[in-house]
Amino acid sequence: MMAPIEQFDVWLFRLLNLHLVHPVTDELMLFLTNGCLSWPVFFLAALFMVARKGKNGFVLLFLAFLAVGLADVVASGMFKPLVQRIRPCFALDHVRLLISQPHSYSFASSHAANSTAVATVTWIFFHRGVLIEKLFTGIMILLALAISFSRVYVGVHYPGDVLAGMVIGVFSAILVYILFSWLLKNILQPRMMRKESRSHG
């Protein structure tokens, strides 16, 4: 017998996967859920970051890469083998499956974790900027939400998997930023200051 939370998760999955659907939305969800199709969106986002931040934009991209790597390790490398939740396309009847069946475990969603990690790094560096940077932040957050939603829509994740992935993505990005800030303040900046003082001495 399923626990109430799991029952709600299954009910919400069926609502999103079977009822709140449309043929036009199918194509959009397939685009969002397939990294081979949607990578140009993130490429354009990377160009925007570099254009707005200059050399610091490459540091930002590196931090985003680290955040995605950490999120992926936690979601796929830790939680999936630990929880071993069977994907809805295998566990439930009458699932509307739009992509080939992934044979890894379901909890937590690495797509949600990775896209949310990128969105969180974007928010950290751009949400206080000028209007175009605020708009960019909003677009990246909406993109992460859409990618996360697409995993339920195409039939390979429960909403709970996606929510957990998003939480993992947020905390992974924050942890990477905190560690980078500590490294910058306590190691990199003091070294640069010592070099400057010696060059002027």
pLDDT tens for 35-79 read 877 788 889 999 999 999 999 999 999 999 999 999 999 999 999
Length of the chain: 201
- Count CB-CB contacts under 10 A for residue 34: 14
pLDDT digits (tens, 9 = 90+) for 70-113: 999 999 999 999 999 999 999 999 999 999 888 899 999 999 99
Rounded-to-integer distance, Cα 163 and Cα 107, Å = 10
What is the DSSP-derived secondary structure letter of residue 128? T
Longest dimension (CA), the chain: 76
**Looking at the domain that runs over 28-93+103-200, which CATH code has it been given?**
1.10.606.20
What residues have CB less than 8 Å from 71, skipping those under 6 apart? 110, 113, 114, 116, 117, 165, 168, 169, 172, 173
